[in-house]
Structure 1
Amino acid sequence: MRINYDFSDLEAFLAVKETGSFHLAAERLNLSQSAVTRRVQKLEAALDSVLFERSTREVRPTLAAKRLQVRAEAILADARETALAMRDESVAFEHQRNAVVTVAVIPTVVSVLLPAALALFREQGNAARLRLLDHSANAVAEAVGKGEADFGLCSIPSLEPNTLFEPLFDDQIVLVLPPGHALEAQEALTWADVQGEALILPARGTGNRLLIDEAMARARLPLRWSCEVRRSSTALDLVAAGTGVALLPLSAAQSAGGRVLYRPVTQPEIRRPVGLLTRVGQQDRHSAAALKVAIRAAAERVFSQ
């Protein structure tokens, strides 16, 4: 038997039965009287039964209506309990397997921060899946600003106007060297030491390049490059192959393992702030908030050493 009525038809029927009026039922349901009439007529047609005897002065329920009332109330009560149970379950288990946290992140901080943060996240009983959008700093800010990510992990300087930046740590710009390079013996370098080297720089338009150019302009120091690259991983590969030396964030140099060496460069020292980026007015879901807590704890643990 095919069922040709729905919950709204049963609600309309019960409202008319309880108020004794199509007009009062319409007011209760915030519908037009004609809409209530259509729903009752649809139910009568589906059940092949007359539910109300109508006259100009009153609406009287039939025997079929009296028999239907108990069943209709039970059906609607069961539907409400099911909806509440499903809603409660989705809230309770939002942080479990069906939850996905999307994080826009600059690749250079992935290896130095996210493994420790995820370990803490799992230790605290969170089983949400993680979707990483590895972008440049500008693209991370754009993804967060447009709501494509729950939050971001990035460096400034350029941010979307509807985002908030929470600093976590400062990432120093260092000179990355191939093993055996002549500068390896020096614990710290000055910018004079960099002159004359085959220098690999981040491409113009990237956040790291902007930091470097601004620092050089303030110090009135010239900086000649031999190669520009858009990705830190590409620069690391070139350095490891002996093509040159590169100015990169410390986090990127550390991610290369033992393939390269790195030394701090001072006078001036260049640091980029790295932190959490959130959209203004956004309410974090349970899993996203828990992952932020884990990232803060991991950053404090890793960069306080």
Structure 2
Amino acid sequence: MEVHQLEYFIAVAETGSFSRAAERCHVAQPSLSQQIKKLEQEIGQPLFNRSRKGVSLTEAGQLLLPRAHAILAEIQNIRPNLEREVQEGKGKVSVGFIPTVAPFVLPRVIRSFRTLYPGATLAVHEDLTQALVSGLIEGSLDVAITSLPVHHPLIETDELLTETLMVAIPREHLAAQSDDLTVHELERYPFIALSEMHCLGEQVRAFCSQQNVDLQIVCHTAQLSTVQSCVVLGLGISLVPQALAVSDDSGQVVYRRVTDAVPQRKIAAAWYVRRRLSFLARELIRLVRQEYPQENQPPCA
């Protein structure tokens, strides 16, 4: 059953004539008649009583007519209804976050997203960059929030912000007495390092290598929260995202800047290059940029 067949059927029913219906539909009468016959064959019974006086609906035709009107009305409303539902935020979006970003922005993003789009479904996944890239390509993720660079030809990225890495120091530590540190002062103290399985760990290693800094690493850990705990216990210092400094209200850690060579990372949204970002995915990216902890909030004592 095709849409134009229903249109022809309605035209014949309303005009009572195949010829007038053909004129109304701007098609040749033989073509219209052929399509009506195909429709009758598909339904399995005649839709019109044909006579010299004209045509009238059979019982089957009478039953089909309101259904045909309803089908065409629904088809005509598909586009405006879809546009309205998209703007209202109805639908589903699946997003991935790397573990060194998720704790600082994800709760805020979820709260804002649910407030703005209560009719939407938000699925959240936290994993390493490689797993998020696989999810984007396989289609289980619509968008991922990660840090640059992302080395994959099928992944497109949009840089959202540049984040400074801060030196996390135990409050009673000697280094906490300085307002800022030089990059080579990092060599003087035991260092708590995040595993290079995380892009942040690799970024810290690369930064120190570029600056010819030989860190005294006393602990490798797989979790940023463990890095923070080790700093609190006085086991050493570390380089951590500014978002952690902004979010930390414990008062147990002091955060200082590296003045002569600023370590940074770039936070970005990533998606599969062959997949168009949905309205909800674009809105989620906007919220990440909006809600990411900013420098004017830090509790850096």
TM surpasses 0.5: yes
Residue in structure 1 matched with residue 141 of structure 2 by the alignment: 149
1:132 to 119, 124, 133: 124
Residue in structure 2 matched with residue 43 of structure 1 by the alignment: 44
Residue in structure 2 matched with residue 261 of structure 1 by the alignment: 254
Inter-partner Cα distance in structure 1 for 2:178 and 2:280: 45
Inter-partner Cα distance in structure 2 for 1:296 and 1:26: 59
Which amino acid letter does the alignment assign opposite residue 187 of structure 2? Q
Residue in structure 2 matched with residue 251 of structure 1 by the alignment: 243
Residue in structure 2 matched with residue 221 of structure 1 by the alignment: 213
Inter-partner Cα distance in structure 1 for 2:42 and 2:148: 64
Tell me, which stretches of 5 or more residues in structure 2 are unaligned? 13-17, 20-29
Count of residue pairs brought into register by the alignment: 280
> 1:70-108 deviations in whole A, cap 9, x for unaligned?
332322222332455566545423455752322212233
Q: CA deviation at 1:118?
A: 5.5
1:270 aligns with 2:263: yes
Inter-partner Cα distance in structure 1 for 2:48 and 2:81: 38
1:289 to 262, 270, 282: 282
Inter-partner Cα distance in structure 2 for 1:50 and 1:184: 89
Secondary structure of the residue aligned to 2:100 is: helix
> 1:209-228 deviations in whole A, cap 9, x for unaligned?
22222222222232231211
Residue in structure 2 matched with residue 108 of structure 1 by the alignment: 100
Q: CA deviation at 1:271?
A: 0.8
RMSD of Structure 2 on Structure 1 (CA): 4.1
- 1:42-61 matches, within 5 Å, as 43-44=44-45
Secondary structure of the residue aligned to 1:75 is: helix
Q: CA deviation at 1:201?
A: 0.8
- 1:52-91 matches, within 5 Å, as 66-82=58-74, 84-85=76-77, 88-91=80-83
TM-score, structure 2 normalization: 0.71
Tell me, which stretches of 5 or more residues in structure 1 are unaligned? 1-5, 54-59
**Given that residues 155 and 273 in structure 1 are in contact (C-alpha distance below 8 angstroms), is that contact kept between their aligned partners in structure 2?**
yes
Residue in structure 2 matched with residue 200 of structure 1 by the alignment: 192
Which amino acid letter does the alignment assign opposite residue 249 of structure 2? G
Instruction: Flag the 1:77–1:186 CA change in 2: closer, same or farther, 3 A.
Output: same
Q: CA deviation at 1:155?
A: 0.7
Q: CA deviation at 1:273?
A: 0.9
Inter-partner Cα distance in structure 2 for 1:173 and 1:251: 9
Inter-partner Cα distance in structure 2 for 1:96 and 1:233: 37
